[in-house]
């Protein structure tokens, strides 16, 4: 287990009586991220691209931010597109690739994903792209390759899928999916937003073409990132001004540039991960070491919650209660027989336990499971910075509400 005092002191916003269990919605930012934002804004926020010293320093701070985002996914800087959010970046990518496709070409989307990696692709239907839906298996909340097989054709241009569900926390075999998609001659676009706060992402090992991450869920500021394999990014059409060349990657995907002060703060994520790694017995790459610590800490934190939910006969945990870190992250969604999804979070508010209910923008998944009328699911999402004491407060307050 991580040293909880050190971890908590690294996040100023955790100094609150509330126990935060809505972390899949967004993490709180690391102190180092806040400090870097303040430093950039108070000292060097001038126009970039000029020859004077301060302008050069501002440009270098932004470049260091891109470099950090790239390191987080084991990518290169020129494969790292930054923007306001994953959703916005996916819309840009869809528009860019559409310009290279023909009417009748096909895109496969899932009904498990957050809408961020569905809506932008489905919107292409109006332009003559054929959309096919890869459906989740309700028993496991998994995407099965056998089901994908039936949808792939020689017109498939891209398959958009989630690496991990933001609602139920079930991890999909992204490497196997990307491999199959590549064999079929199509591009893969994985949504890693719900995976990246919990596990080391290595886009090279996954061998995906595109990968989305929202850095405000990985202890950072509101910045989205899109990894693109170099050739895949070169192959899309620019969505920037006419005079920005097709070879200007990633700038051709960044109209208006990036949000300077937030991108300049991204190395603060690395500062935190390195501080975690320096206290870890895991050697080697600090990012790898930090995420190994998070994985183990989160497994321990999630165990009593999953045990409690399993013991409650009226509760159904979507995707099951298996706590194997290879299968799930500590994002847990459940329904309680006879209760609207809102009832439990609203009752927990009284104990200053921040939990949430709804469809979490995975509307199609909730619809497929017939859960819209009862308000979707109750979702409890942990991060390594939660403590065993907070989880105990939660399970104590939750038990009577779910009849455990
Ligand atoms: C799995 C997943 N994908 C995409 C998004 C959208 O991210 P953004 O807010 O950066 O557009 C979210 C946000 O909750 C998410 O959980």
Q: Name the pLDDT band for 283 (thresholds 50, 70, 90).
A: confident
Half-sphere exposure of 220 (CA within 13 A, CB side): 30
114 C-beta closer than 6 A to ligand 1: yes
Q: Whose CA is nearest to atom 9 of ligand 1?
A: 85
Work out the angle between the directed axes of helices 267-278 and 31-39 (0-180°, nearest 10).
Answer: 140
d(CA 391, CA 266): 29
Bridge-based pairing state of the strands 224-228 and 80-83: antiparallel
Q: Would you state the pLDDT for residue 1?
A: 81
Q: Name the pLDDT band for 233 (thresholds 50, 70, 90).
A: very high
| Beta carbons of 21 and 380 less than 8 angstroms apart | yes
The class (CATH top level) of 34-269 is alpha beta
86 C-beta closer than 6 A to ligand 1: yes
Atom nearest to 84 CA in ligand 1: 10
Average of pLDDT values for 341-364? 98
Spatial CB neighbours of 341, under 8 Å, sequence gap ≥ 6: 335, 357, 358, 371, 374, 375, 376, 377, 378
CATH 3.90.1300.10 describes domain 4-29+285-402: no
Q: What are the tokens at 130?
A: 């054929």
Q: Kindly list the domain boundaries of the chain, sorted by start residue.
A: 4-29+285-402, 34-269
- Mean pLDDT score of the chain, rounded to an integer? 98
Average of pLDDT values for 323-336? 98
Q: Would you state the pLDDT for residue 320?
A: 96
**Phi and psi angles of residue 385, each rounded to the nearest 5 degrees, phi first:** -85, -5
Average of pLDDT values for 47-55? 96
Average of pLDDT values for 297-316? 98
| Percent of residues, the chain, with pLDDT higher than 70 | 100
CA nearest 246: which of 265, 257, 231, 226?
Answer: 231
d(CA 387, CA 243): 52
Average of pLDDT values for 67-94? 98
224 C-beta closer than 6 A to ligand 1: yes
Task: Write out the H or E segment, with its range, that includes residue 191.
Answer: strand 187-191
Average of pLDDT values for 359-375? 98
Q: Would you state the pLDDT for residue 120?
A: 99
Q: Whose CA is nearest to atom 7 of ligand 1?
A: 86
């Amino acid at each position: 287990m991580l040293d909880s005092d050190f971890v908590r002191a690294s996040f100023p916003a955790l100094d609150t009586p509330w126990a935060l269990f809505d972390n899949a919605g967004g993490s709180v930012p690391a102190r180092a991220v806040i400090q870097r934002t303040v430093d950039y804004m108070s000292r060097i926020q001038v126009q970039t691209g000029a020859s004077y010293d301060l302008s050069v320093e501002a440009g270098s701070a932004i470049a260091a931010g891109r470099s950090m985002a790239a390191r987080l996914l084991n990518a290169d800087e020129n494969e790292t597109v930054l923007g306001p959010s994953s959703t916005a970046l996916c819309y840009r990518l869809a528009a860019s690739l559409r310009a290279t496709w023909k009417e009748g070409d096909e895109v496969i989307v899932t009904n498990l994903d957050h809408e961020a990696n569905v809506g932008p692709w489905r919107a292409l239907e109006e332009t003559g792209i054929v959309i096919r839906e890869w459906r989740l298996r309700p028993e496991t909340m998994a995407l099965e390759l056998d089901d994908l097989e039936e949808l792939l054709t020689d017109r498939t241009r891209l398959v958009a899928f989630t690496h991990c569900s933001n609602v139920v926390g079930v991890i999909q075999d992204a490497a196997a999916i990307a491999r199959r998609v590549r064999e079929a001659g199509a591009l893969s676009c994985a949504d890693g937003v719900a995976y990246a706060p919990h596990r080391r992402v290595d886009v090279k090992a996954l061998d995906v073409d595109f990968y989305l991450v929202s850095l405000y869920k990985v202890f950072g500021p509101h910045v989205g990132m899109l990894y693109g394999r170099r050739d895949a990014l070169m192959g899309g059409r620019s969505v920037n001004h006419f005079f920005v060349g097709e070879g200007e990657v990633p700038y051709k995907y960044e109209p208006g540039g990036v949000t300077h002060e937030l991108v300049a703060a991204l190395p603060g994520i690395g500062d935190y991960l390195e501080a975690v790694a320096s206290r870890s017995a895991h050697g080697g790459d600090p990012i790898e070491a930090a995420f190994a610590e998070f994985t183990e800490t989160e497994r321990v934190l999630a165990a009593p919650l999953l045990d409690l939910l399993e013991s409650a006969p009226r509760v159904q945990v979507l995707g099951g209660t298996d706590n194997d870190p290879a299968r799930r992250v500590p994002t847990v969604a459940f329904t309680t027989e006879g209760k609207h999804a809102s009832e439990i979070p609203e009752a927990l508010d009284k104990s200053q336990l921040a939990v949430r209910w709804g469809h979490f923008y995975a509307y199609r998944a909730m619809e497929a499971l017939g859960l819209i009328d009862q308000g979707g699911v109750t979702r409890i999402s942990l991060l390594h910075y939660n403590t065993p004491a907070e989880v105990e407060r939660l399970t104590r307050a939750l038990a009577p509400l779910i009849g455990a």
